[in-house]
Structure 1
């Protein structure tokens, strides 16, 4: 796995991973602040400084998974400070994945311009742009999985009728074990792969896979 080609890719992917995870957590913190909770701001998390957000194991997992999924330190939120807590929690949770989708779209548009114009760009720059598309789409949809503690679990909790909350709570008790199973068996790619590839084609076009 750790051959010269992987190490070269890891070196190029590293700044994209750091940037993408940082933006993800920043938008969680910013949205919480906008809804009235300054907890993250008070703890120095309302920043684009990667050191404030990075989780060692979550970052390492990004590399071990072939740049397909990972995580940063969760942003602390005090629900008692939020205006309209249910709506606020939904948007706070959604803000991270949405920020990654937005970044993937921007990187994809840059790639389309380069591909359409047949522009000659350094290989490292092209790799950064392509990683910007694939890593951000992967992060977005990994975090949208409705298993605790991922963002998708909070989103699901807030869109389901309140009468299902107790059943969901019981299910979420087992979520970390399901999540661990999916990570260990590398089942994520079989579940998310087709979705990720579809969005890569949507944002960056077929040239992303076949060259130009």
Structure 2
């Protein structure tokens, strides 16, 4: 990694990360509010103010570590989860699905908007256009990855909550019971399984197959649709 480029790399990654996670969490809160739950609204979380959503580790430290470890090629992060009391909604089982889906949906929308914004880059002053282009490209990547990652059907991720909402009740209860172990399972899949694979000489990069590969397909789709 060329450390002379660190300030530039940070400047073209940090804004897309903050915008992506802020919009993601604000979308959860806004949909919950519209469906009858005022919990996030009363706590000031139905807002696009990043300060309300930033998590010191997930929004700042983790992205920085990933940027360093990937040699400036990748950054990923998360914000403080928006509090939702599903009991306050009009139709808890249905509304849980809608609230959970709002986050990933907002990221896909932002990815499309970032792609469309590329058409304005050619009208910007020289040097500024390169910086903006990097921000927009990273915005597409981050938002698509955030969407796909959160749709993994494992609580406490959005995909897990969607699964609980649409599966038959007996199966939904089994999936819901995984929530207490969900983050440990994810960390194991992302870090432990690939490590074991390296030790035994196998490619067990589960994160790539679950998130990286689908994200590449979706990114290519967005780029082709927008025509950039």
* TM-score above 0.5, yes or no: yes
**Does the 8 A contact of 2:17 with 2:76 survive in 1?**
no
| Equivalenced residues, count | 206
What TM-score, normalized by structure 2, do the two folds share? 0.80
Unmatched 5+ stretches in structure 2: 68-73, 195-204
Provide TM-score, normalisation by structure 1: 0.86
Question: Partners of 2:108 and 2:129 in 1: how far apart?
Answer: 25
Q: Which moved more, 1:98-107 or 1:66-75?
A: 66-75
Q: Name the residue aligned to 2:114.
A: 107
Q: Which runs of 5+ in 1 are unaligned?
A: none
Contact kept, 8 Å, 2:152 with 2:210, in 1: the verdict is: no
Q: Is the 8 A contact 2:160 2:175 kept in 1?
A: no
Give me the CA root mean square deviation: 2.6
Q: How does 1:34-183 map to 2 (within 5 A)?
A: 34-59=34-59, 60-66=61-67, 67-111=74-118, 113=119, 122-183=129-190
Could you say what secondary structure the match of 1:37 adopts?
A: coil
1:144-194 CA-partner distances (Å, limit 9, x unpaired): 112222111101110101121332234444322111113435742343212
Q: In the TM superposition, what is the alpha-carbon distance from 1:57 to its structure 2 partner?
A: 1.4
Contact 1:69 1:142 in 2 (8 A): no
Displacement over 4 Å in runs of 4+: 117-121
